[in-house]
Amino acid sequence: MVDHGTDAALAALVAAARRSDVGRRLSGDVETRLLQSIVDATVQLFDAEAASIALFEQDPDRLEFRVAAGEHGAGAVGLTVPPTQGIAGFVYSTGQALALSDVADDPRFNRDAAEQTGYVPRSIAAAPLLDEHGTVGVLQVLDKRGSPTFSLRDMELLAVFASQATVAIASARVQRDTDRLLRSVLIQVEPDLDAEQVEAMVGAATRELDVDDESPFWLLVDQVARLRSLTDRETALLTDILEVVAAHAVERGRPGRTGP
Amino acid sequence: MTEPLPAWSEPFADPKHELRRSLRVRGVTRDWAWGGATGAGVRVGIIDSGLENDHPRLAGRVVDNVTVEIGEDGPTVVPDGPHDMYGHGTACGGIILGLAPEVELVSIRVLGADLRGKGTAFAAGLDWAIEEGLQVCNLSLSSKSESLYPIFHDLTDRAYFRGMALVSAANNVPAPSYPSLFSSVFSVAAHGEPDPWRLYYNPAPPVEFGAWGVDVPIAWKDGGSTVATGNSFAAPHVAGLVALILSKHPGLSPFEVKAILASVADNPGRRRRRAARP
Q: Does B14 touch chain A (CB under 8 A)?
A: no
Q: How far apart are CA A73 and CA A49, in angstroms?
A: 7
Question: Residue B48 catalytic?
Answer: yes
Q: What is the DSSP letter of B143?
A: B
Which run of H or of E encompasses A132?
none
CB contact under 8 A, A90 and B221: no
CB contact under 8 A, B144 and A135: yes
Q: How far apart are CA B249 and CA B247, in angstroms?
A: 6
Domain boundaries, chain B: 38-276
Per-residue model confidence (pLDDT) at position A213:
63
* Chain B residues lying within 8 Å of A155, measured CB to CB: 9, 172, 190, 229-230
* Chain A residues lying within 8 Å of B222, measured CB to CB: 108
What pLDDT, in 10s, does the model give residues B184-229?
999 999 998 999 999 999 988 889 999 999 999 999 888 888 888 8
CB contact under 8 A, A125 and B229: yes
Q: Which fold has domain A31-172?
A: Beta-Lactamase (3.30.450)
Question: Residue B232 catalytic?
Answer: yes
Residue B138 has pLDDT above 80, yes or no: yes
Residue to test with chain A: of B46, B141, B227, most A Cβ within 10 A:
B227
Confidence of residue B274 (pLDDT cuts 50, 70, 90): very low
Q: In the predicted model, what is the mean pLDDT of chain B? A: 87
Confidence of residue B272 (pLDDT cuts 50, 70, 90): very low
Question: pTM for this one?
Answer: 0.75
Out of A133, A151, A157, name the one closest to residue B192 (CB).
Answer: A151
Domain boundaries, chain A: 31-172, 211-260
The residue of chain B with its CA nearest to that of A109 is B221
Which residues are CB-neighbours of B22 under 8 A, at least 6 positions away? B201, B203, B262, B265, B267, B268, B269, B270, B271
ipTM of the complex: 0.76
A124, A90 contact by CB (below 8 A): no
3-state SS, residue B212: strand
The CATH code of domain B38-276 reads 3.40.50.200
Weakly modelled stretches of chain A, pLDDT under 70: 1-6, 23-29, 104-118, 172-177, 208-214, 225, 228, 253-260
* Chain A residues lying within 8 Å of B200, measured CB to CB: none
A10, A201 contact by CB (below 8 A): yes
Question: Residue B157 catalytic?
Answer: no
The residue of chain A with its CA nearest to that of B212 is A152
Q: How far apart are CA B97 and CA B93, in angstroms?
A: 6
Sheet with A62-69, strands from edge to edge, namely: A80-81, A62-69, A48-57, A134-144, A124-131, A98-101, B224-229, B216-220
* Chain B residues 207-246 with a CB less than 8 Å from chain A: 213-215, 220-222, 224, 226-232
Q: Does B111 touch chain A (CB under 8 A)?
A: yes
CB contact under 8 A, A152 and B86: no
Least Cα distance to B226 among B81, B85, B86, B46 occurs for B86
CB contact under 8 A, A94 and B111: yes
B29, B238 contact by CB (below 8 A): no
How far is C-alpha B230 from the chain's CA centre?
12
